[in-house]
Amino acid sequence: MRILVTGGAGYVGSHAVRALLRQGHEVWVYDNLSRGHRRAVPEELLIFGDISDTRHLAAVMRDRQIEAVMHFAAYALVGESVADPALYYVNNLAAGISLLEAMRQSDVSKIVFSSTTATYGIPETVPIPEQAPQRPINPYGFTKYCFERMLDDYARAYGWAAAALRYFNAAGAAADGSLGEDHDPETHLIPLALQVALGRRDELVIFGDDYPTQDGTCVRDYVHVEDLAEAHLAALERLQPRQVWKLNLGIGVGYSVRQVIEACRHVTGHPIPTRIGPRRPGDPPVLVADSRLAREMLGWTPRYQKIEDIVATAWAFHRRFPRGYEDR
């Protein structure tokens, strides 16, 4: 298939691009490089542009005879979305609508969309099933929830095929260390811990150790970025017109912050000093996916189940690129 990947120069998108190419698809990356990296995508595939530019996007889709879109382009920092909600409503919603409009104008009717656990808010039950109530508690989660709802309407009215894949915590990197996670600012636990091991930070702050969990720290479901990419491919290949799939992508196992740090210590051989800080508002104690539906619908089995194996791939990237891609 001929596929346009929005946000394909970002962390998850760049791994999806590689998986699509490996599978023999024809791929174009549409990215404004606001938060992505030139070095994360083959140069000849990159189309520089902003998804808010409907005309440009529609022309790109028509010229390249695009058949489906994978939509990763968004801002994705919860704290930033609380401090500056306009940024999120403009980029994730308004620009997202522009993308849907460009698809309509160029007769592209299949989309796989990056959604998130943040659409659930504070869950009532864990593991979280897809039918759990969606009550996002921050603007980031709310923009993703709204986009999911728009996909329902577009599928019903225009016969589109859409998959909203709700990732839990994306983690890890390409096993050969050639692609990985390089966010600025970095907010994710594993890269932060590895930055301490690299000497880029003195210590790691743990946000709260008095949660009702086995060791008092928050528990999360870490899903390897290459497993996420595989799920995207499967969704693309299996989706049929008028279908809307909403699927959790997680491994169904939770690791506490302390367990993740221990894995980072083991993999790097560095003591990784920590300090206990205050809780972050809105952090639920435990977020773990019930991902049985994704396994069934997509025939998907995450290859990475152990946190140490996930950390080892992230470490391969961070050792190769200790200061990130350095392409800004």
Candidate segments 10-18, 101-109, 230-238, 305-313, binder of ligand NAD by CB under 6 A: 10-18
Q: Find the shortest distance in angstroms from Cβ 116 to ligand NAD.
A: 4
110 touching ligand NAD, by CB under 6 A: no
Looking only at residues 138 through 177 of this chain, which bind ligand NAD when binding is defined by CB under 6 A? Answer: 167, 169-170
Report how far apart the first and last C-alpha atoms of the chain are (Å, whole number). Answer: 32
Q: Find the shortest distance in angstroms from Cβ 249 to ligand NAD.
A: 9
Contacting residue, 4, 46, 68, 74, with ligand NAD by CB under 6 A: 74
10 touching ligand NAD, by CB under 6 A: yes
Tokens of 32: 């404004």
Q: Find the shortest distance in angstroms from Cβ 17 to ligand NAD.
A: 11
Based on CB atoms, which residue is closest to ligand NAD, 285 or 324? 324
Tokens 């009532």 sit at which residue?
124
CA atoms within 13 A on the CB side of 277: 9
- What lies within 8 Å, CB to CB, of 199 at 6+ separation is none
CA distance 101 to 67: 15
Based on CB atoms, which residue is closest to ligand NAD, 53 or 308? 53
Number of residues that bind ligand NAD (CB under 6 A): 28
Contacting residue, 17, 36, 154, 221, with ligand NAD by CB under 6 A: 36
Based on CB atoms, which residue is closest to ligand NAD, 186 or 270? 186
Contacting residue, 72, 222, 317, 321, with ligand NAD by CB under 6 A: 72
Based on CB atoms, which residue is closest to ligand NAD, 13 or 285? 13
Task: Clarify whether 255 is annotated catalytic.
Answer: no
52 touching ligand NAD, by CB under 6 A: yes
Based on CB atoms, which residue is closest to ligand NAD, 94 or 270? 94
List 120, 140, 154, 211, catalytic entry: 140
| Residues at the interface with ligand NAD (CB under 6 A) | 6-7, 9-13, 31-36, 50-52, 72-74, 76, 91, 95, 114, 116, 167, 169-170, 183
